[in-house]
Amino acid sequence: MNSGKGTFVISIDFEYELGYADVKLNEAQKELVRQESQVSKRILELFEKYNIPATWAIVGHLLEDDCSVCEGKVHSNFPAEIYTDSKFDWFAHHPPAGDTNDPLWFDSAGVINLIKNSPVKHEVASHSYAHILYGHPTIKREAITVDLAEVKKIHTKHNLPLASFIFPRNMEGYHAQLKDTGFVCYRGESKFWYHKLPGVFGRSARLFDYIIPSCRTVVPTRHESGLVNIPDSLLLLGRNGLRKIITPNMMKRK
């Protein structure tokens, strides 16, 4: 039954340095990642103040308390190269095994426990186990299989649900495998007019869309896999680069 009422959904990607596992971050970039835990705690305080539940999509690896080494490699159950056309090791920047206090690869600040125990009853969703790119054209099926097995294992260990999934970098793929793992819905990426524009034109158009004081609505659909697609309507990013010109008052009007 359609009640005619809409639902406002906030989803947050919680990933630390795993969100950039395929990039060698400099110290300034790492410092920004280190601040993510404090920013998240402040957001949690505001959500509790105004009684707003949100969906927190966590990268499962953040919950690990022991990353064992096999044949000189951490997470050796993953293929050595996760892409068919690249020899890149996804865990190349992983800290030494046993160093689970590293705030860039583990939730040593305990933010996920704060989310779980919050009085406003947030949803804990999955953002994969290792932030591998499900929609990458050359991703190995074996890597997806291992990643989903690790997601299920870590969520079971910490008594977390397997219901909602948010694709790393919004790159969709392997929906049927998600369904088989037990997921029921995911955040899809909406395609708006500016997505068709190349390079700088698309980025400029997206910036213009942020400034316009209007907001669109989206409608959930059923994917052929059986999963429910709950598409995004607005992507909120940090105020860096050209986004610095977007003032808080502009976003309030949005």
pLDDT digits (tens, 9 = 90+) for 69-103: 776 788 999 998 999 998 889 999 998 876 788 99
Residue 3 covered by a domain: no
Separation CA 85–CA 16 (nearest Å): 26
Structural domain of residue 248, as residue ranges? 191-218+236-254
Residue 164 bridge partners (DSSP): 185
Q: Are residues 172 and 65 in the same domain?
A: yes
pLDDT of residue 26: 94
Question: Do 99 and 202 belong to one domain?
Answer: no
* Number of independent structural domains in the chain: 2
Beta bridge partners of 73: 70
DSSP H helical ranges for 91-192: 111-116, 141-157, 175-181
Q: What is the pLDDT of residue 20?
A: 95
Distance CA 106, CA 62 (A): 4
Sign of CA dihedral 185, 162, 90, 34: positive
Are 20 and 114 part of one and the same domain? yes
Span 154-170, pLDDT tens digits: 999 999 999 999 999 99
Of the candidates 51, 185, 22, 214, the one whose C-alpha atom is nearest the C-alpha of residue 122 is 51
Residues 107 and 200 in one domain: no
157 and 198 belong to one structural domain: no
251 and 157 part of one domain: no
Is residue 229 assigned to a domain?
no
Q: Identify whether residues 17 and 116 lie together within a single domain.
A: yes
Domain-embedded: residue 210: yes
Query: Is the model more confident about 74 or about 249?
Result: 74
* Integer Cα distance of 43 and 169 in angstroms: 21
In this prediction, residues 105-121 reach a mean pLDDT of 96
For residues 237 and 245, give the distance between their C-alpha atoms in angstroms, rounded to a whole number. Answer: 13
In a domain, 163, yes or no: yes
Q: Out of 20-34, 92-106, 142-156, which region has the weakest mean confidence (pLDDT)?
A: 92-106
Phi, psi of 228 (to 5 degrees): -90, 125
Same structural domain, 195 and 156: no
Looking at the structure, tell me whether residues 182 and 243 fall in a common domain.
no
Give the 3-state secondary structure of residue 147.
Answer: helix
Whether 197 and 177 share a structural domain:
no
Question: Is residue 2 assigned to a domain?
Answer: no
Percent of the chain with pLDDT over 70: 80
Is residue 137 one of the residues assigned to a domain? Answer: yes
134 and 26 assigned to the same domain: yes
Ramachandran bin of 241, using left for φ above 0, alpha for ψ from -120 to 50, beta for the remaining angles: left
The verdict on residue 231 lying in a domain is no
Tell me what pLDDT residue 254 has.
Answer: 46
Predicted TM-score (pTM) of the model is 0.86
Taking phi over 0 as left and psi of -120 to 50 as alpha, with beta for the rest, 72 belongs to left
- The residues, ordered by sequence, that sit 6+ positions from 129 with a Cβ below 8 Å of its Cβ are 59, 60, 61, 147, 148, 150, 151, 154
Q: Which of 54-68, 112-126, 193-207 has the lowest mean pLDDT?
A: 193-207
Question: Is pLDDT larger for residue 34 or for residue 213?
Answer: 34
Domain assignment present for 1: no
Does residue 1 carry a pLDDT above 50?
Answer: no
Confidence of residue 191 (pLDDT cuts 50, 70, 90): confident
For residue 22, the domain's CATH number is 3.20.20
Same domain, 102 and 159: yes
